[in-house]
Structure 1
Amino acid sequence: MIATVIEFSRYFFALLFGAAVAVSFVGMHRTRKNYLVFGCFIAFLFIIQVITLKLFGMAVTLKIYPLLSHLPVAVFIVIFLKCSLLLSVTSVFASFLCCQFPRWMGSFVGGFFDSATINHASYVATVFLMYYFLQKYVVESVRHMMERSVKSCLMFGTIPAFYYLFDYVSTVHTDLMFSGSHVVVQFMPFIMSAFYFLFVLLYYSETQKQASIQRDRDMLYTQLHQAQTEFSSLRQMQQNAEAYRHDMRHHFILLQGMASQERIEEIQEYLQTAQSDLNNITPVRFCKNETVNLILSSFASKAKQSGILLTIDAKLPDSLTLSDTELCSLLSNALENALHACEKVANSNQRYIKLRVYSKNNKLCIDIRNSYQEEPIFHHGLPVSKEQGHGFGTKSMVNIVEKHGGIYQFSIKDGWFIFQATT
């Protein structure tokens, strides 16, 4: 009687362990509802398995066990947990692989004592230890790997899937594994090693690609942060100009005092200094949009200092669909790239930048063209910088345009490098 109870306990815990590991791999939330539904589901499957065992015997039950256990678990994950079929099937294959260690431990201990009951008891005990180990060290990593991308999930699930098929073909539906054939014995280690080698190569490639994407994302975030900082500086410059204008009465009082004493030279010197200070902190008005005025004022000053002729045609309303930081990042990066290219032109008389920005049908339209010294290199329609640490400004521009469903184009025509965008 006790031996029978232990034997059936093994079958129940094998079902429970495999299903629990599978749903853990796909990230089933630990809620009371989920535990209740999952528990009822396992109890139902176990009853079906017991009935099948009584009606058809162990040999038939083992052959159709995937239909009694693995397939229902996969369907449960898809329907109840709302996971994709790929995640569901991969998690079931992976959980089947995890079930093998308790089976081996049971066989080893049971064989040592020459007792089937000890085999079953050892299996049940190992199941609890194995489940704890998986939950603590494995489940989270497996879940992240499967959810990372379809390619990553396929790579991870290949070996468990192959082992699953090989095990049933060679031990359940045939006796190839126990036939003593050297081909069969050597086939499994070779295939596992080959799959492992391929997995390492593909996963390394995938990791490198993800790392590159993460670096680009970090650089784009840095670009946006710099745009926010620059925009704050421009705002501060505008506030300084307003404060300077507010203090004009104090300057007039001082000038009146100098005039009453007929200190003409000092008045002229003071006026020149005041005018220079005011010009340095006063943004030039190019259009109705204050944000654009601040950005263009800053770059007009930079262009002048670099000996670059910057012509601006700006016709924009007060408000645009882009946020101030996005607008600042888009225009600043475009103009920064144009300035950088013009500064390399050897002949200072051939350094030109032409900017046309306007609004049409509530869309922001940008046309920036500049002269250049070196012929730009394009890759997938984007200019590629040879210098280390450059090129992220272009990616930031493209990211902003695409975010708002706009279109863009980089091109070369008649000695001009041209960037055009509508967003």
Structure 2
Amino acid sequence: MLESAIAFFRYFIALLFGTMVAVSLAGMVRTRKNYLSVGCFTILFFIVQLVCLRVWGMERTIKIYPLLSHLPVTLFIILYLKQPWLISLTSMFVSFLCCQPPRWVGAVLGGVFDNAVMDHLGYITAAFLMYYFLQKYVLNSARHLMERSLKSCLLFGAVPAFYYFFDYASTVYTDFMYRGSRVAVQFMPFLISAFYFLFLLFYYEEMQKQASIQRERDMLDMQFRQVQTELSSLRQLQQNAAAYRHDLRHHLALLQGLAYKENLGEIKRYLQLVQSDLEAITPMRFCERETVNLILSSFAAKAKQVGIFLVMDVRLPDRLTLSDTELCSLLSNALENAIQACKGISDSKDRQISLRVFSKNSKLCLDIRNSYQTEPSFYQGLPLAKEQGHGFGTKSMAYIVEKHGGVYRFSVKDGWFIFQATA
């Protein structure tokens, strides 16, 4: 009597374990209502299974078990949790696969002690431990993989699905597995190896996509910072212009007073002073593109503040494959890195940056070189960042050039760090 009660409790735990793994994998929210719904669903279909066991016996009940358990669980996920049929089926197949380790633990304990009760108790204990492990370490990651794309869901569920059909075909509906057939023994290892190979290919493809997305994010971040620099420059110019407009009437009054006195020398001196002030607040003009002028003016001012001798020769072609945003991002990152490298040089006379932008064979060519304190190291053609969280600028520069089918090179020669690009 006790053995039968433990056996029935084991079957209930098996149904509850499989159902909870499936609905958790499908993304069921942990609420009291959902737990009650799953509990009532499990009890209802366990009663249905007991009735079938009573009417048709164990052998027939096992053969129709997919209709009594697996199909209802799949429909519950589709109808109650509102999940797509592919995620619902995959969750069910994976939950079936997760039921196997507790079954193996129970079988081992039952064989060691030669006792069916130990088999049942081993299964029950292993099921609780397995569910805790899956809930804490596996289910969230597996769910994200399923929801990532159709391809990832199909690959993730393929092995559990094949195992499901193979298990029922070779052990429940036939005795193919127990006959010791070589085909039966080798089928699952071959299948797992094949899908492992496919998974590696898929994983590599996904890693490439993630790397591309990360480069896009880095570039967008750099472009955002570049826009902030432009806005900061514009605000500074507006403030300077507003201040100068405010002072203009004072200048005119002073000039009028000097004119009444016919003091021509003072007027000339004062006009030269005003002209120099105007030049100080007027952006330097390097080319015809205003956004590029703003960026270059901003970095020219930065270089001057820290005592860096900056020479720029910018001759942009009429047509560019790069957008203004991409060109400004490329120049901003290059000049920012150059200024950072020069700032570390103790002797201000050695702080030098040279920028050349020109056109050759209908291609935009960029050559920027700067002096440095410490010679940089390189990895896969890119300079290594010395601090954590740095190095995105050079990656963004490389990405922009490669995006337009161009070529680039970072190098060191005769005390100069050189970046050259053609796009």
1:123-179 Cα offsets, whole Å, 9 max, x none, are 111111111111111111111111122211112111111111111111111111100
Question: Whole-Å Cα distance in 1 between the matches of residues 229 and 52 of structure 2?
Answer: 70
- Indicate the residue corresponding to 2:170 in structure 1: 170
Q: Given residue 83 of structure 2, which amino acid in structure 1 is its aligned partner?
A: C
Matched letter for residue 116 of structure 1: A
Which residue does 1:344 correspond to in 2? Answer: 358
State the match for 1:95 in structure 2: 95
Report the equivalent of 2:350: none
Could you say if the C-alpha distance between residues 58 and 144 of structure 1 is closer, same or farther in structure 2, counting changes exceeding 3 Å? same
Equivalent-residue separation in structure 1 for 2:329 and 2:267 (angstroms): 39
Partner of 1:408: none
Q: Are 2:66 and 1:66 aligned? A: yes
**CA shift for structure 1 position 219:** 1.8
Give 2:76's aligned amino acid: F
- Residue 378 of structure 1 is matched in structure 2 by none
Contact 1:93 1:161 in 2 (8 A): yes
Q: Which residue of 1 aligns with 2:351?
A: none
Q: Write out per-residue CA displacement over residues 243-279 of structure 1, whole angstroms, 9 at most, x where no aligned residue.
A: 2211223434554565577653443243234235435
Q: How many angstroms apart in 2 are the aligned matches of 1:61 and 1:152? A: 34
Contact 2:317 2:359 in 1 (8 A): no
- State the identity as a percent: 55
Where does the alignment leave 5 or more consecutive residues of structure 2 unmatched?
Answer: 299-311, 335-355, 366-393, 405-423
SS in 2 for 1:344: strand
- Give yes or no for contact 1:238–1:283 (8 Å, CA) kept in 2: no
CA contact (8 A) 1:12 1:46 kept: yes
Q: Compared with structure 1, are the counterparts of its residues 298 and 218 closer, same or farther at alpha carbon in structure 2 (3 Å cutoff)?
A: closer
Q: Deviation at 1:294?
A: 7.7
Q: Deviations over 1:297-353 (max 9, x none)?
A: 738989xx7565899xxxxxxxxxxxxxxxxx9754477889x9x93226xxx9xxx
2-side partners of 1:202 and 1:12: how far apart?
Answer: 38
Alignment partner of 1:345: what SS?
A: strand
Q: Secondary structure at the match of 2:55?
A: helix
Distance 1:373 1:333, change over 3 A: closer
Correspondence for 1:54: 54
What residue in structure 2 maps to residue 159 of structure 1? 159
Please state if 1:221 is matched with 2:221: yes
Q: Is the 8 A contact 1:14 1:99 kept in 2?
A: yes
Report how far residue 185 of structure 1 moved. 1.0
Alignment of 1:247-258 (within 5 A): 247-255=247-255
Tell me the residue number matched to 1:191.
Answer: 191
1:239-278 equivalent positions in 2, closer than 5 A? 239-255=239-255, 264-278=264-278
Q: CA deviation at 1:3?
A: 1.1
TM-aligned CA distance change 1:331 to 1:212, over 3 Å: closer
CA–CA distance in 1 between the matches of 2:171 and 2:140? 32
Looking at structure 2, the residues matched to 336 and 15 of structure 1 have their Cα atoms a distance apart, in angstroms, of 58
* Change in CA separation of 1:52 and 1:344 when aligned onto 2, cut-off 3 Å: same
Determine the C-alpha separation between the residues in 1 that align with 2:403 and 2:193: 43
Query: Aligned-pair RMSD on alpha carbons?
Result: 3.9
Residue in structure 2 matched with residue 116 of structure 1 by the alignment: 116
**Quick check: 1:26–1:143 contact (8 Å CA) kept in 2?**
yes
Q: Deviations over 1:65-110 (max 9, x none)?
A: 1111111111111221121211111111111111100000000001
Name the counterpart of 1:234: 234
2:294 to 283, 289, 298: 298
Local SS of the residue matching 1:343: strand
CA contact (8 A) 1:155 1:203 kept: no
With structure 2 as the length reference, what TM-score do the two structures score? 0.69
CA distance in 2, matches of 1:309, 1:107: 77
1:43 Cα offset (Å) = 1.4
Check 1:62–1:273 CA distance in 2 against 1; reply closer, same or farther (3 A cut): farther
Cα 1:282–1:185 shift into 2, 3 Å: same
Structure 1 residues 201 and 3: CA distance shift in structure 2, 3 A: same
* Compared CA separation, residues 333 and 254, structure 1 to 2 (3 A): farther
Provide the rounded CA distance (Å) in 1 between the counterparts of 2:142 and 2:94: 9
Which residue in 1 is equivalent to 2:387? none
Letter in 1 for 2:239: Q
Q: Decide whether the 8 Å contact of 1:283 with 1:297 is kept in 2.
A: yes
Residue 17, structure 1, aligned to residue 17, structure 2: yes
- Alignment-derived partner of residue 125 in structure 1: 125
Q: TM-score, normalized by length of structure 1?
A: 0.69
Q: CA 1:392/1:274 → structure 2, altered by over 3 Å: closer, same or farther?
A: farther
> Structure 1 residues 64, 53: closer, same or farther in 2, change over 3 A?
same
Matched length: 340
1:181 partner letter: S
Q: In the alignment, what sits opposite 1:208?
A: 208
Whether contact under 8 Å (1:220, 1:392) holds in the other structure is no
Instruction: Tell me the alpha carbon deviations over residues 193-234 of structure 1, each in whole angstroms, 9 at most, x when there is no partner.
Output: 222122122222222222322321232233123213322321
